[in-house]
Structure 1
Amino acid sequence: MSLILNIESAIDGCSVAVSDEGRLVFHEEDQSIHNNAVSLGLLVDNALAFVDSHGMKLDAVAVSEGPGSYTGLRIGVSMAKGVCYGRGLKLIAVPTLKLLCVRLLLTEELPDDALLCPMIDARRMEVYSALYDRALKTVREIRADIVDRETYLEYLEKHPVWFLGNGSTKCRDVIDHPAAHFIEDVIPEARWMFPLAEQSFNRDEFRDVAYFEPYYLKDFIAVKPKKQV
């Protein structure tokens, strides 16, 4: 049996979901920009109240591990750890880029040779991206790409590639290739975490609650505000 609380706050909004044996039984979200610190706590409280009111007992907490927003990731991981400590639960980390792919795989029919390239916006023409096949096997590892027309050309010459995520919009005009397909408005959401969380649970792939840190990919760089003249 596996009853899992799923927490997602890797980019602008946040969401929580509860999955029971791979079946979604609760989901709430707040996609307001830069409101994770307030909203996520309320959403988690609502999810825990739902679990308790239905006489359920959680087995694990799954959290979106990144890459993504430094602040959003820290808020989500801190919240997940707090619930794990408070209720004696196991911790599961879900790769955020793979999470983006799950919605597409569950809602769209793709050709057998399709590749998926989830993108999270970094800065300017930079994105955090990876490439996966339809089974979510890694074709190219996660890295920070400064995107130009050559960046993914070797894959586009051999496969149709679906680009998705909040970093893909700015790349549409740059990646000019007939094999490139773009899916709008795909964001990481807790309600799509359950296939990956369930898989990790069944494989006993748990993280150390005390020492787990988000996967930032790059070190956080604080930007100093400009002085007012």
Structure 2
Amino acid sequence: MRYIIQIDTATEVCSVSLSREGITLDHIQSSEPNMHASRLTSYVEQILFQNSLKFSDISAVAVSMGPGSYTGLRIGVSTAKGLCYALDIPLIGINTLESMFNGLVNKVILQEGSLYFPMIDARRMEVYTMAFDEDGKQVLPTQAKIIDELSFAEFHLKEAFLFGSGANKFQDLFRANPQVHIISQFQHSSAHMSALAWKRFEAHEVENLIYFEPYYLKEFVASKPKR
């Protein structure tokens, strides 16, 4: 049996899951603010204990590599790399937006002729996003995009479905637009990586532990603390 630990700290959700050959067995997650660093390693230990496994039973670690929160990504990737170094097992990097789309596919029936935009909040009216058609083909690459009322006009013959932490803030903006739909019930989770992680593990598509870094997409800009 091949077990993979999956870590996702790219958003406000701190999530750890366990999969076996592409099937999710268990997951633990929380959306409490600012708790990624304090909870992540304990979640890994807890999920192994819950499933009567030891660290030596793990064949690989998959991590959501970004885009997403700068601090969250650093915590997740650092923890994943530390586990892989200590256990001498491979690291699998998964694009966060690709993982989100995979999670949506397992929850809803995709509509023919539509486009699907996983979105991660990048503050104000900006999001990290990419686009897929109903067959899972990538239509737009990963990008940082400022959204306004005309953002999807170029796809005038297709309906656009937005989902994820970055999509919910556009409910009012597109309320009167019949082309754009918000899937508000989507929940972010490391469990969405299971099939992707297993496919890459089988294909030996693993990361170089020395050089692997999170996919930040944008440079980190520190803000001044409020008085």
* TM-score normalised by length of structure 2: 0.92
1:134 deviation in Å?
2.8
Matched letter for residue 76 of structure 2: G
1:112 deviation in Å?
2.4
Q: In structure 2, how many angstroms separate the alpha carbons of the residues matched to 1:138 and 1:165?
A: 17
Q: What SS does structure 1 have at the residue aligned with 2:83?
A: helix
Identity score, percent: 39
2:118 match: 118
Matched letter for residue 145 of structure 2: D
1:169 match: 168
Q: In structure 1, how many angstroms separate the alpha carbons of the residues matched to 2:53 and 2:22?
A: 20
Q: What SS does structure 1 have at the residue aligned with 2:177?
A: coil
Q: Is the 8 A contact 1:98 1:136 kept in 2?
A: no
Task: Give unpaired runs (5+ residues) of structure 1.
Answer: none
1:47 deviation in Å?
2.7
Q: Which moved more, 1:59-68 or 1:190-199?
A: 190-199
Q: In structure 1, how many angstroms separate the alpha carbons of the residues matched to 2:37 and 2:55?
A: 28
Tell me how large the CA RMSD over aligned residues is: 1.8
Whether 1:180 and 2:180 are equivalent positions in the alignment is yes
Q: How does 1:205-220 map to 2 (within 5 A)?
A: 205-220=205-220
Q: What SS does structure 2 have at the residue aligned with 1:53?
A: coil
Q: Is the 8 A contact 1:51 1:57 kept in 2?
A: no
* TM-score normalised by length of structure 1: 0.91
Q: In structure 1, how many angstroms separate the alpha carbons of the residues matched to 2:179 and 2:125?
A: 21
Q: In structure 2, how many angstroms separate the alpha carbons of the residues matched to 1:179 and 1:150?
A: 11
Q: In structure 1, how many angstroms separate the alpha carbons of the residues matched to 2:95 and 2:15?
A: 15
1:85 deviation in Å?
0.6
1:65 match: 65
Matched letter for residue 173 of structure 1: D
1:103 match: 103
1:12-50 deviation per Cα after TM superposition (whole angstroms, max 9, x unaligned): 121111111112222111221111010111101223445
Distance verdict in 2 for CA 1:42–1:146, change over 3 Å: same
Q: In structure 1, how many angstroms separate the alpha carbons of the residues matched to 2:207 and 2:136?
A: 21
Q: How many residues align?
A: 226
Q: Is the 8 A contact 1:10 1:67 kept in 2?
A: yes
Matched letter for residue 215 of structure 1: Y
Q: In structure 1, how many angstroms separate the alpha carbons of the residues matched to 2:32 and 2:125?
A: 24
2:34 match: 34
Q: In structure 2, how many angstroms separate the alpha carbons of the residues matched to 1:136 and 1:197?
A: 16
Task: Give unpaired runs (5+ residues) of structure 2.
Answer: none
1:187 deviation in Å?
3.6
1:68 deviation in Å?
0.6
